[in-house]
Amino acid sequence: MPKDTGKTATFTIDGATHEFPVYSGTLGPDVVDIGKLYAKADVFTFDPGYTSTGSCESKITFIDGEKGELLYRGYPIEQLAEKSHYLEVCYLLLYGELPTKAQMDDFETRVTKHTMLHEQMRNFYSGFRRDAHPMAVVCGVVGAMSAFYHDSTDINDPWQREVATIRLIAKLPTIVAWAFKYAAGQPFVYPRNDLTYAENFLHMCFSVPAETYEVNPILAKAMDRIFTLHADHEQNASTSTVRLAGSSGANPFACIAAGVACLWGPAHGGANQACLEMLREIGTVDQIPTYIKKAKDKDDPFRLMGFGHRVYKNFDPRAKVMKESADEVLGLLGIENNETLAVAKELERIALEDEYFVEKKLYPNVDFYSGIILEAMGFPTSMFTPIFALSRTVGWISQWKEMMEESGRIGRPRQLYTGPTQRDYADVDAR
Ligand code: CMC
């Protein structure tokens, strides 16, 4: 429960004054509870983009954008990226505490036992065009899970909610890897339970029946880190979408499919693909000034993809860790000197010094570096956002689970209507 601070916020309109309670959480700014504003004062708040609106109470993830701090259940992301691993982070996000050895073993076993897809789901893939964007395929197949796993769609049954949670975390790598294989025209590769979560994903993406595939441990570590760094990010657009869908009582598979759809946009998870494509479009270092000029031009819609963030106004702590991983992976693969990388490094240098970017606090975000790593690993750009979706599934489902464990009302924002006032229908020959 939020703590009542005893303070009130006063709102005056048309000579009448109304008071609203102020609550504080454990971290972050206080909030004014304006739930009764409309009833008391007959006005709505107006906050397009929700820059000043807290939509829910949550105990999962905290971001301090000014300090560049990201905590999962209180633990700094840098510590988790260094010392933990993705499945442990999943456990932490879902259940609130780091697991004991026995709890971890049990969780890992439960996830591992659910990695296969219902065999009939294979057929679902062949309904898509081979050139379909894998995000379209992933969105469709995740949504279709509700047609295959009826025994975990009763949202009022805590056990079914738990089974759906495990199924989503376990099956997303298989769904995403199969979207990749389908686009590549290669046979689907089944999951292997002797591999770790990240190793298994790489195995399902890159192994072929014709030869043995050894997972490189450095690549597996980098993959695991990408999963960890993207695991949750409090009430961003896709998470809010999942919560809003869930508030209507929709089943968890439908809610996560809604999250996948929202993540796809280039201002959100689609930025990793857009960033790599932008680096390729810039092409050579000498072209950078032209693009910096475009980014600053108010009349040009071009933005430097992979830069800026709604919340981080100092630096993106995920980007710092991701940069280290990028250096490690590129070093291992011996590709420190390619042109795209040279453009990325120079762009980063210029943007960090340029007055426009410094003044607006536009730092490289997580997507700036993740795309570089994923490309080096051999993923096409179209796979970047599906990998983000697979990583974020645990965050979405943790937030959904938290919401379902509390009694809540359907999410229903209001609006400032500026359309026509009431008018009478005119027959077609009178228009
Ligand atoms: N390039 C050039 N100018 C920018 C950029 C950019 N990438 N981002 C913001 N600005 C400018 C913007 O034009 C505006 O200028 P002014 O104040 O003169 O009008 C100012 O900075 C503030 O921008 P905003 O659009 O009001 O900021 P926002 O909080 O609404 O948007 C953002 C945040 C992430 C959508 C935006 O920075 C952006 O479009 N970045 C590129 C896309 C990207 O990399 N997204 C991934 C975010 S990290 C992964 C995730 O969480 O999904």
What digits encode the pLDDT tens for the residues 289-334?
Answer: 999 999 999 999 999 999 999 899 888 999 989 888 888 888 888 8
pLDDT given for residue 300 in this prediction: 95
Q: Is the CB of 306 under 6 A from ligand 1?
A: yes
Is 367 an annotated catalytic residue?
yes
Please return the burial class of 399, using the count of CB atoms within 10 Å of its CB with bins 0-12, 13-18 and 19+: buried
Q: Is the CB of 269 under 6 A from ligand 1?
A: yes
Pick from 235, 300, 360, 387 the residue to mutate for probing ligand 1's pocket: most ligand atoms within 8 Å of its CB. 360
Q: What separation in angstroms does the CA of 284 have from each of 4, 300, 308, 342?
A: 56, 21, 22, 8
In this prediction the pTM is 0.93
CA of 267 to the centre of ligand 1 (A): 8
**DSSP H or E run through 9:** strand 3-13
Distance CA 154, CA 249 (A): 9
Widest CA span in the chain: 79
Pick from 294, 362, 370, 396 the residue to mutate for probing ligand 1's pocket: most ligand atoms within 8 Å of its CB. 362
Confidence band (pLDDT; 50, 70, 90) for 345? confident
Helices (H), 248-287: 252-263, 271-282
Beta-carbon contacts of 44 under 8 Å, excluding residues fewer than 6 positions away, are 37, 38, 414, 415, 416
Share of the chain above pLDDT 90, in %: 85
Please check the confidence at residue 366 and state whether its pLDDT lies above 80. yes
- Rg of the chain, C-alpha, whole Å: 23
Confidence band (pLDDT; 50, 70, 90) for 229? very high
Please check the confidence at residue 337 and state whether its pLDDT lies above 90. no
Q: How does pLDDT run across 185-207, given as a tens digit for each residue?
A: 999 999 999 999 999 999 999 99
Q: Which of 30, 367, 427, 429 is catalytic?
A: 367
Please check the confidence at residue 2 and state whether its pLDDT lies above 80. no
Residue 269's nearest CA partner among 233, 221, 321 is: 233
pLDDT given for residue 31 in this prediction: 97
Side-chain-side CA neighbours of residue 148 (13 Å): 20
